[in-house]
Each structure stands twice: as structure tokens, then as C-alpha cells.
Amino acid sequence: MEPSLSAGDFYLLEDEWTAEQRGVAERVRAFIDAEVMPYAGEWHERAVFPRELIPRIAGLDLLDRLAHNAIDPISYGLAMRELERGSSALRSLMSVQGGLVIFPIMAFGSDEQKARWLGPLGRLDAIGCFALTEPAFGSNPAGMTTRAERVPGGFRIHGHKRWATNGTIAQVAVVWAKWDGKVCGFLIETDRRGFQPRPIHNKWSFRASESSELILENVEVPESALLPGAQSLGAAIACLNQARYSIVWGVVGAAAACIEETLAYLKARPQFDGKPLAGHQLIQHRFAWMTAELTGMQLLAKRLGDLKAAGRLKAAQVSLAKMNNCRKAIEIARACRELLGANGIVNDYHVGRRMLDLETVITYEGTEHIHALVVGQELTGLKAFS
Ligand SMILES: Cc1cc2nc3c(=O)[nH]c(=O)nc-3n(C[C@H](O)[C@H](O)[C@H](O)COP(=O)(O)OP(=O)(O)OC[C@H]3O[C@@H](n4cnc5c(N)ncnc54)[C@H](O)[C@@H]3O)c2cc1C
């Protein structure tokens, strides 16, 4: 008899991966099962980021390969999927380090910046953060008030950034500031005088992630801090598109894990005449709906990976996938939360934590509305942002 199809791979997509891609996914999954799943609820509850895990994440060899252009987009995506199966905060550490710090150095950095930073960042010996958002400018970063001005031998940067992930543990920050009216990227060591990171507390989402405010009070940096190729907002957006790609895959992992956990729970919970809840019609309808949505998310992620590998990926395609996959993932997580009943609100189960973290994921790297406007502009040729 043929084995039953599972919600996580209803259309046998796993058959599509090469042995190498499958190997990456299996390695990350084994790491998540052993090192993350037993503790993730506690990190969330205590609102701590597991810094001690950083060397072991480095051992997965994902970012080092990224920094050397030695990992294909599908392998990278599968790794993100497995990481976010464990924790959105952990996947975010990798997305920031990979897409928002390593990528800008590779794409826009000088030879000196590449030689100084790519090795340590790839090995996670150095942590980086990305500071674009400001207290008054999130969806519209073009309005930023952070300024850079020329001083002898370099620049002086003054401004206030907010929500920089890993800002409090970073050794280097990719800071976006206006210089001569243009948005420019600067690579700033965080021990510079005037650079003040402050943790953001009181979060009920992304509790296990280091979110920070960055005050830059007349921070002086040498000429060599400017990322020479990053002298427009388009450069910052190109970085965001890398990180959005990893979100598209990551939320597939979060949604699949919610479905798996909920299905196991409902199969083992008899109610009404001793029949497991999973055997009731309304519940099966929800699972069929969630599996259809998850399958759509997976196919979109795969197609995005194929287009990326072929060098044909357009920003609007990333936007559509980010918008769609985050919305579907959060709907699945909310449905699973309900299906777990009262147990859905305790950290003995992972669904509640995942659902709360997805509130961040649907907001950062461009909200759903902003991505809809990007897609709308692509379709109509008309800009509707303002
Ligand atoms: C945990 C966390 C981590 C983050 N990490 C980083 C990071 O590492 N680096 C970084 O730079 N930033 C980071 N961010 C910031 C994030 O990218 C911004 O919060 C996001 O871009 C939205 O900006 P905002 O919060 O200012 O919302 P706003 O721009 O104020 O938007 C508020 C609402 O209005 C809607 N809206 C805005 N403009 C329009 C429009 N034109 N039409 C219709 N609706 C509109 C939005 O969709 C949203 O629903 C992080 C955020 C969080 C929560």
C-alpha cells in the first residue's frame, strides 16, 4: 500500500531537490530538533536570545557559503525553512546577517571591506545589524532624517534608528544615512564613539530576538566606511529583497510546523463519543484548507528559488511572495491556535509562540500593504504609495 500523503509535502516537492539540497535541509532540521525545539518556548517566555547557540549555528556553514557565493538559492531557502520551523527569531538572525549585512558588503563593498568583514561575518565570529528604519520612518525610508556630512578624513553621522535586529550584540552596523541628499550605506563599527545601542523591551512578538534602537550621536567614521556601491535607496531595497527571499521560505517552515503539531494533538484528543477530534468533519475541512494554502506557499517559494538561480527574479515577484506567504502563514498559525483549544495559549505547545512571531514577520521587511503597492505598481504602471 502506498504511504499516505502528509500536509507538509502533499505534492511530493521533496522529490524535486537534489541530494545536496536535501542534505542541507536534513542537517539544519537535525540541528533544530536537537538544539532549538526543546528550548525555544523558554527563550520566548524569558525573552532571551540564545547567544550561546551562535557558534553552533556557525557550524551549519550556511553563511560562510553565502559569503563565498557557494550555496544555491534552493539550498539556502530550504535551510531558512528548517530554521523557521524552530524559531522565526533564529531565522531572522541568519536573514539579517546574510541578506542585510553580508550581501551589501558583497554587492556594494570595497575590496578592503570585503577582506575585513566577509570571513568573520560568514563564520559568525562577528555579528552585523542593518539600520534603515527610524522612529518616524518605517514604510517610507526615503524620509529618513539620519544625516552624514563630510569631515576631514571621513564622515560624521548623526541620527536615530529603531528596530535594528541584533543591534545590541553587533560588532558592525550597516547604517543608511543621507549624504548630499542621497541615501548611502555606511559600514560602522559599533564601538565608535557616539554609537549607542539600546535594547527594545516589552515586546510580545520576537521576544527571543535582540531588537534595538540605535542612537548615532555625531559618530565619526573614516572615508573607508562608505559602501562605495550603495549610494541610493535602491541599494537598501536590493538588500531587503535578499532578506525577503529568506522570509518567503522561512514562513513555509513555521506554517508546516504549526499544522504538524496541531494534527498530532487532535489525532490524540478524543471528544464526543471517544472519537479523536481529527475525525470530525469541520476539523478536517480546516486541515484541507491549511494544506492547500501551505502547498501554494511551497510552490511559490520553489518558483522564486528557480527564478533566482536563473538570475531572472524581479523585485515585484519577491514582494508578491512575501505578501502572500506571510499572510497565509499567519492565517494557518491562527487557525492552529484555535484548534488547540485552551492549550493553544500555553508555551507547552509551539503554535502560540509562532503565531506571535509571525506578527513581526508580516510587518518587517515591508508590510503587506507596501508589498501590495509594489505589485500594484508592476501591474498598472501607476505608483500608489502617496
Ligand atoms: C521585531 C522587528 C525587527 C525589525 N528589524 C529591523 C531591522 O533589522 N532593520 C530595520 O531597519 N528595520 C527593522 N524593523 C522595522 C520594520 O521594517 C518596520 O517596522 C516596517 O517597515 C514598518 O514600518 P513602521 O513600523 O514604521 O510602520 P508604518 O510605516 O508606520 O506603517 C503603519 C501601517 O500603515 C501602513 N502603511 C504605510 N504606508 C502605507 C501606504 N502608503 N498605503 C497604505 N498603507 C500604508 C503599513 O502597512 C502599516 O500597516 C523591524 C521591525 C520589527 C517589529
Place of cell 494534527: 263
Determine the distance separating the centroid of ligand 1 and the alpha carbon of 291, expressed in angstroms: 29
How far does the chain reach from its first CA to its final CA, in angstroms? 59
pLDDT recorded at residue 2: 83
Residues 293, 294, 300: CA angle, nearest 5 degrees: 90
Mutate to test the pocket of ligand 1, among 95, 362, 364, 382 (most ligand atoms within 8 A of CB): 364
Backbone angles phi, psi at 219, to 5 degrees: -75, 120
Per residue of the chain (386 residues), give pLDDT as tens: 788 999 999 999 999 999 999 999 999 999 999 999 999 999 999 999 999 999 999 999 999 999 999 999 999 999 999 999 999 999 999 999 999 999 999 999 999 999 999 999 999 999 999 999 999 999 999 999 999 999 999 999 999 999 999 999 999 999 999 999 999 999 999 999 999 999 999 999 999 999 999 999 999 999 999 999 999 999 999 999 999 999 999 999 999 999 999 999 999 999 999 999 999 999 999 999 999 999 999 999 999 999 999 999 999 999 999 999 999 999 999 999 999 999 999 999 999 999 999 999 999 999 999 999 999 999 999 999 99
How far, in Å, from the CA of 97 to the mean position of ligand 1? 19
> Cell numbers at residue 165, please?
535586529
Which residue among 139, 209, 211 is best mutated to probe the pocket of ligand 1, counting the most ligand atoms within 8 A of its Cβ? Answer: 139
Strand partners, 185: 176
Ligand 1, residues at Cβ distance < 6 Å:
96, 130-133, 138-139, 163-165, 206, 211, 360, 363-367, 369-370, 385
Single-letter residue type at 279? G
Distance CA 239, CA 282 (A): 43
Are 166 and 225 in contact by the 8 Å Cβ rule? The answer is no
Task: Say what the pTM is.
Answer: 0.97
Beta strands 172-179 and 128-131 are parallel
